[in-house]
């Protein structure tokens, strides 16, 4: 059988195909794909949470350095992560694509399989979207979720004296991107279903953290249920950039303890080979999609010790200070530290400024 391209089957057959294969009937969705709008069921009295994110070919990814399955999973994961960062329960997903005409149907199927397997594992339903022909591959996702009003966690609310926590090791995703840039992706690295296949399992595990990040939905819910976090955000732009967002919204400052920032064993082994200052990958690299939250330390520990069934990884990495918008980084020897870059800003590009020279920090 020859290679079937998007242009061979056309928009309406494509929508039908997506509907048949990837949108599941559910009590939550009285009507999904196939009508002018989806109708959705929500638990009464919950707050509605809505978020959107866009991935663009040659800006966020290149088709030759990922595979369709992992790209599909990532396009959902980055949106789930934003609902997780509010303490919410993600439930519905809309996916709009700009697709190059020569893209193959089998690649598109693998892309949707990546989406739908993650969606199924998280109890999220694909309820709509839009398709258009485009010169580049463009992905826009919208996730709708909900949360009991007394559990929702915002970026504002951090209090001086709170500790700052993250839910897992940082830097792997940025290191994965560095490795991809230097080594490239090989056809034998991953199977069509996204499983690592090549021999360098550890290296591929790091690359996979960049290509298909986790969504800490379970952790976000547990943090919400413990009801002691004062503020939360997910780490998408980098620890420093996202902590900056949080302290700006909360009108507080922060001390960050560099030696306390968790890093994976694989990171410690490989990062020095790919970066001159590995700690900067963990500080500014971005796309780790771990959650960063603030909470009074004793209350968090007390609540965790009393709720034995809760298995919540969390690492204290600093403390909130009263100094509005001032972010200070400290080494183990209690010396101030200036990273070589601060994180990614889409409209300004990768900054070369050091923390000291940034007037916002003075």
Separation between Cα atoms, residue 106 and residue 68, nearest integer Å: 9
CB of 51 to Mg ion, least distance (A): 8
288 binds Mg ion (CB under 5 A): no
Helices (H), 172-331: 172-183, 201-211, 217-226, 239-250, 265-274, 278-284, 297-306
The residue among 162 and 234 lying less far from Mg ion, judged by its C-beta, is: 234
CB of 41 to Mg ion, least distance (A): 26
> Taking a C-beta distance cutoff of 8 angstroms, is the pair 290, 168 a contact?
yes
The residue among 57 and 234 lying less far from Mg ion, judged by its C-beta, is: 234
Separation between Cα atoms, residue 188 and residue 193, nearest integer Å: 13
* Part of the chain binding Mg ion (CB under 5 A), chosen from 36-44, 107-115, 235-243, 322-330: 235-243
**Given phi > 0 = left and psi -120 to 50 = alpha, else beta, which region is 198?**
beta
CB of 176 to Mg ion, least distance (A): 19
- Smallest Cα–Cα separation from 300: which of 95, 161, 116? 161
* Number of neighbouring beta carbons within 10 Å of residue 291: 27
The residue among 155 and 209 lying less far from Mg ion, judged by its C-beta, is: 155
Separation between Cα atoms, residue 89 and residue 83, nearest integer Å: 7
* Part of the chain binding Mg ion (CB under 5 A), chosen from 158-166, 202-210, 231-239, 334-342: 231-239
* Part of the chain binding Mg ion (CB under 5 A), chosen from 81-89, 94-102, 185-193, 255-263: 81-89
234 binds Mg ion (CB under 5 A): yes
Separation between Cα atoms, residue 39 and residue 238, nearest integer Å: 36
CB of 50 to Mg ion, least distance (A): 13
* Part of the chain binding Mg ion (CB under 5 A), chosen from 41-49, 75-83, 176-184, 308-316: 75-83
> Taking a C-beta distance cutoff of 8 angstroms, is the pair 124, 92 a contact?
yes
Question: Count of residues binding Mg ion (CB under 5 A)?
Answer: 3
Separation between Cα atoms, residue 200 and residue 204, nearest integer Å: 6
The residue among 22 and 289 lying less far from Mg ion, judged by its C-beta, is: 289
Phi (first) and psi of residue 168, to 5 degrees: -175, 175
Q: Which H helix or E strand runs over 109?
A: helix 105-122
290 binds Mg ion (CB under 5 A): no
The residue among 172 and 290 lying less far from Mg ion, judged by its C-beta, is: 290
The residue among 155 and 222 lying less far from Mg ion, judged by its C-beta, is: 155
CB of 236 to Mg ion, least distance (A): 5
Looking only at the bridges linking them, the beta strands covering 89-99 and 125-133 are parallel
CB of 53 to Mg ion, least distance (A): 8
Bridge partner list, 50: 144
The residue among 249 and 301 lying less far from Mg ion, judged by its C-beta, is: 249
CB of 40 to Mg ion, least distance (A): 23
Work out the angle between the directed axes of helices 201-211 and 265-274 (0-180°, nearest 10): 90
82 binds Mg ion (CB under 5 A): yes
The residue among 203 and 254 lying less far from Mg ion, judged by its C-beta, is: 254
* Number of neighbouring beta carbons within 10 Å of residue 62: 12
CB of 173 to Mg ion, least distance (A): 14
287 binds Mg ion (CB under 5 A): no
The residue among 57 and 82 lying less far from Mg ion, judged by its C-beta, is: 82
CB of 122 to Mg ion, least distance (A): 17
DSSP character at residue 359: G
Please report, as ranges, the residues that interact with Mg ion according to CB under 5 A.
82, 234, 236
């Amino acid at each position: 059988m020859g290679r079937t391209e998007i242009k061979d089957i056309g928009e309406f057959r494509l929508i039908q195909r997506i509907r048949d294969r990837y949108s599941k009937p559910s009590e939550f969705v009285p009507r999904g794909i196939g009508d002018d709008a989806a109708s959705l069921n929500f638990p009464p009295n919950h707050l509605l949470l809505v978020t959107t994110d866009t991935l663009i070919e040659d800006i966020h990814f290149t088709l030759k350095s990922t595979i369709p399955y992992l790209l599909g999973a990532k396009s959902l994961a980055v949106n789930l992560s934003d609902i997780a960062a509010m303490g919410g329960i993600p439930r519905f997903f809309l996916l709009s694509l700009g697709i190059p005409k020569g893209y193959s149907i089998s690649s598109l199927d693998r892309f949707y399989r990546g989406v739908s397997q993650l969606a199924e594992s998280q109890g999220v339903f694909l309820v709509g979207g839009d398709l258009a022909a485009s010169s580049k591959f463009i992905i826009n996702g919208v996730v709708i979720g909900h949360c009991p009003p007394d559990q929702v966690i915002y970026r504002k609310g951090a209090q001086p004296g709170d500790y700052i926590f993250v839910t897992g090791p940082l830097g792997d995703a940025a290191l994965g991107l560095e490795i991809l840039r230097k080594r490239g992706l090989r056809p034998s690295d991953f199977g069509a279903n996204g499983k690592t296949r090549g021999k360098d399992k550890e290296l591929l595990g790091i690359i996979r953290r960049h290509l298909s990040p986790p969504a800490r939905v379970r952790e976000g819910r547990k943090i919400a249920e413990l009801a002691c976090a004062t503020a939360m955000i997910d780490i998408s732009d980098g620890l420093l950039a996202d902590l900056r967002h949080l302290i700006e919204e909360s009108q507080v400052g922060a001390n960050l303890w560099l030696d306390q920032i968790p890093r994976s064993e694989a990171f410690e082994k490989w990062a020095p080979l790919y970066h001159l200052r590995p700690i900067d990958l963990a500080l500014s690299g971005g796309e780790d999609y771990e959650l960063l939250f603030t909470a009074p330390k004793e209350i968090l520990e007390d609540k965790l010790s009393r709720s034995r069934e809760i298995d919540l990884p969390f690492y204290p990495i600093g403390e909130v200070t009263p100094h509005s918008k001032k972010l200070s980084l400290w080494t183990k020897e209690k010396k101030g530290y200036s990273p070589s870059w601060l994180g990614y800003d889409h409209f300004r590009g990768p900054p070369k400024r050091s923390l000291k020279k940034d007037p916002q920090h003075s």
